[in-house]
Structure 1
Amino acid sequence: MATAAASPATAPSSFPSTARKSTLPTLRVSRKLKLAPSALSSDPSPAFRSVTAFAPATVANLGPGFDFLGCAVAEASLSLGDTITATLDPALPPGTVAISAVTSPARPDLAARLSRDPLRNCAGIAAAATLRALGIRSHAVSLELAKGLPLGSGLGSSAASAAAAVKAVDALFGSLLSPHELVLAGLESEKAVSGFHADNIAPAILGGFVLVQSYDPFKLVQLPCPPSLRLCFVLVTPDFEAPTSKMRAALPKHVDIGQHVRNASQAAALVASVLLGDAAGIGSAMSSDGIVEPTRAPLIPGMAAVKAAALEAGALGCTISGAGPTAVAVIQGDEKGEQIARRMIDAFWSAGKLKATATIAQLDRAGARVISTSRLE
């Protein structure tokens, strides 16, 4: 996790003298930033004592849509994503964020790798950005993170933590921020962790397919997808970590105009296919990246063979999810999902000598959502 430029704060004299001094690292919410007009007069009152929110995994790029296309994916058990519980904590200095616990039910070793310092944890950075956007100066929040996604998987692990954090903290104070403001708060974390790109954080918060039309000014377009489209994703993750920084360093510095035109046309075809509910068109466009995938695939042992195996087994398309190493195949319905997953796992082992695990997920149309609340006492 990246480091944020902030330091722990001390309690002002108005803070109750009976409160214990926190030993947890806290992230001070800057008061120098411009606040929304409604936040200038007084702090919003808390609506709950605590809120638990879930944010799904995401598939960024979708082949030719590097840094501007992504979608949210999840399954019924909500294990494919991250969960945050945000709780009002009067023992902390006002205007601060602390991380009280980090767990990883499916991957116990992962919890030890994640910092509880909010300066170095994307959930803490995102939560602080949310308090800043709300104008909160009289309350403090502690976070509990349950990590469901592996690190460096290409499934938007940092974005899921950030998205769950902004959703939980906003709901804690009455859900006052717009979807656009939530994405901007989450983007503060992404910017610190992996760079200024929203193709993970936007779908993690908004759900479905999202197009980042512009970064300056920042503008998103949610792509409506017909409800009749039963789009499923076969996600196969090898036992191999692909840091985003390393995968970005491999990208070409110059692109031939012909390659650019071809990729742009495929990205446009993908957007059109989403709007039309054309699963075959989505798969075809996803498989047609001629710029990013060719430079990253050789860095993931067996990826070319995995893509070929998925297509031969009946997948409509296959590409690298985000920066990788997860391979994502798209299908209509889940009937062929297990068969395709087995073929992809076998290919990772035979061609890359990598063990892999598979998940069959659906398009997640909801994005980050509140799953439980605790009333004020």
Structure 2
Amino acid sequence: MAAATCKTSPIPTNLNHPHRPKPPIPRFRAVRCASRPTSKTSSKTLAPGDLSPAFRSVTAFAPATIANLGPCFDFLGCAVDGVGDTVTVAVDPAVPAGTLSISSISGIAASAAKLSRDPLWNCAGIAGIAAMRALGVRSIGLSLHLEKGLPLGSGLGSSAASAAAAAVAVNGLFGGRLTPGELVLAGLESEKKVSGYHADNVAPSIMGGFVLIRSYDPLELLRLEFPAGQDLYFVLVSPEFEAPTKKMRAALPPEVKMKDHVHNSSQAAALVAAVVRGDVRVLGLAMSSDGIVEPRRAPLIPGMAGVKKAAIEAGAFGCTISGAGPTAVAVIDGEEKGKEIGDRMVEAFLREGGLKASATVARLDRVGARVISSNAD
């Protein structure tokens, strides 16, 4: 069977560096992947014979993500700074050659307790194995430790962050040979098993910034460059409520009216234009204007309508559901104003939905998943 191949435009491939240089143009950068890997299809072997690890262990961090952004269901997402998952991968002689085991899971207690340590049923394990296969690793075994910084079912790309961190950690262990597109494909192996074949979380978690999925077959990703020097803050308000992706997807309409399709298409186009122009006001207006998905999902999150109203009245440029929810996300161009908006949204969740909630104000993460430490001993 033919191996998957990827062609990329000039994208920085050094995911280890915390401040990757960004060219002033173009505002769109593409990653094209010719085919999807499956359990029987791997990416091309990148070196003759089997690979030797560059380090004994590597730790990688992958940020949380906001998917859909209102009208951009399943085809646009962005990474947010400060919160995410961390994975450490190490060479382990006790693990059979060519395989990966999960040694431990820590972090948020509720999330860690629910996750399987079977690597075939854990997001980090699946993506880590896919990265090993893409690299052609056969002669050594790896052990993996996952530290959950994101709660499950939050709408912040928890599964994608685990997958992204694992893929980048494995890649870093062997010298960073995989391209961003190949790393996304490894993460998608995990996503399709646990939440469906959609890249709007795992792609921005790996690549940073805003990422648009132009095509799924073949996979083609466009990284949208939000202008340097422009401030963009996300107010993330997470209630004590779980919104399983499966349940939230079941609420979607089976058919869409032509007028709703036209409306959402225009809002999605406006949102993309706002991103590349750095226009936070238009970005917020477009994000708040989903007429297809949000109207079906918002009633399933107690108080969501009131939270959105409170955010707008407090000065947010826009507010919607992050991913499948229940986290509500608002956008603003100042951190202090974001804190005020977050307080009003927390109050609204309690007042309108009877739910306790917490608020975080985060910047756009322009870097994506990265290696944060390595050990050669």
TM-score by length of 2: 0.89
* C-alpha distance in 2 between matches for 1:224 and 1:30: 31
Q: What amino acid is aligned across from residue 72 of structure 2 in structure 1? A: G
Q: What amino acid is aligned across from residue 123 of structure 2 in structure 1? A: C
* C-alpha distance in 2 between matches for 1:318 and 1:35: 40
* C-alpha distance in 2 between matches for 1:115 and 1:152: 15
Judged with a 3 Å threshold, the aligned counterparts in structure 2 of structure 1 residues 30 and 343 are, in CA distance, closer, same or farther, namely closer
1:42 aligns with 2:49: yes
Flag as ranges the 4+ runs of structure 1 deviating above 6 A: none
1:45-84, Cα deviation, whole Å (9 max, x unpaired)? 1000000000000000000000000000012xxxx10000
* C-alpha distance in 1 between matches for 2:39 and 2:118: 20
Matched residue, 1:285: 286
Matched residue, 1:156: 157
* C-alpha distance in 1 between matches for 2:38 and 2:312: 50
* C-alpha distance in 2 between matches for 1:150 and 1:178: 28
1:83 aligns with 2:86: yes
Judged with a 3 Å threshold, the aligned counterparts in structure 2 of structure 1 residues 300 and 135 are, in CA distance, closer, same or farther, namely same
Q: What amino acid is aligned across from residue 71 of structure 1 in structure 2? A: C
Structure 2 residue matching 1:315: 3-state secondary structure? coil
Q: What amino acid is aligned across from residue 44 of structure 2 in structure 1? A: A
1:142 aligns with 2:143: yes
* C-alpha distance in 1 between matches for 2:40 and 2:330: 46
The match for 2:106 among 103, 107, 125 is 103
Judged with a 3 Å threshold, the aligned counterparts in structure 2 of structure 1 residues 315 and 35 are, in CA distance, closer, same or farther, namely closer
Q: What amino acid is aligned across from residue 68 of structure 2 in structure 1? A: N
Any conservation in 2 of the 1:309–1:347 contact (CA below 8 Å)? yes
Any conservation in 1 of the 2:234–2:332 contact (CA below 8 Å)? yes
1:239-289, Cα deviation, whole Å (9 max, x unpaired)? 000000000000000000110011001000000000001010110110000
Judged with a 3 Å threshold, the aligned counterparts in structure 2 of structure 1 residues 319 and 35 are, in CA distance, closer, same or farther, namely closer
Structure 2 residue matching 1:119: 3-state secondary structure? helix
* C-alpha distance in 1 between matches for 2:178 and 2:160: 18
* C-alpha distance in 2 between matches for 1:233 and 1:30: 35
Unaligned residue ranges in structure 2 (runs of 5+): 1-36
* C-alpha distance in 1 between matches for 2:337 and 2:218: 42
Structure 1 residue matching 2:227: 3-state secondary structure? coil
Aligned pairs for 1:1-377 (under 5 A) are 32-39=40-47, 41-75=48-82, 80-104=83-107, 107-375=108-376, 377=377
Any conservation in 2 of the 1:31–1:132 contact (CA below 8 Å)? no
Structure 2 residue matching 1:38: 3-state secondary structure? coil
Q: Displacement of 1:30 after TM fit?
A: 9.1
Q: What amino acid is aligned across from residue 43 of structure 1 in structure 2? A: D
Any conservation in 1 of the 2:110–2:151 contact (CA below 8 Å)? no
Q: Displacement of 1:109 after TM fit?
A: 3.3
Identity of aligned residues (%): 66
* C-alpha distance in 2 between matches for 1:34 and 1:221: 23
Q: Displacement of 1:44 after TM fit?
A: 1.7
Q: What amino acid is aligned across from residue 69 of structure 1 in structure 2? A: L
**CA RMSD across the alignment:** 1.3
Larger radius of gyration: 1
Judged with a 3 Å threshold, the aligned counterparts in structure 2 of structure 1 residues 218 and 338 are, in CA distance, closer, same or farther, namely same
Judged with a 3 Å threshold, the aligned counterparts in structure 2 of structure 1 residues 30 and 365 are, in CA distance, closer, same or farther, namely closer
1:205-236, Cα deviation, whole Å (9 max, x unpaired)? 00000000000111000001101211000000
Matched residue, 2:23: none
Q: Displacement of 1:114 after TM fit?
A: 1.3
Q: Displacement of 1:335 after TM fit?
A: 2.1
Structure 2 residue matching 1:357: 3-state secondary structure? strand
* C-alpha distance in 2 between matches for 1:361 and 1:197: 24
Structure 2 residue matching 1:241: 3-state secondary structure? coil
Q: What amino acid is aligned across from residue 124 of structure 1 in structure 2? A: G
* C-alpha distance in 1 between matches for 2:124 and 2:105: 11
Judged with a 3 Å threshold, the aligned counterparts in structure 2 of structure 1 residues 286 and 32 are, in CA distance, closer, same or farther, namely closer
* C-alpha distance in 1 between matches for 2:308 and 2:76: 20
* C-alpha distance in 1 between matches for 2:52 and 2:38: 19
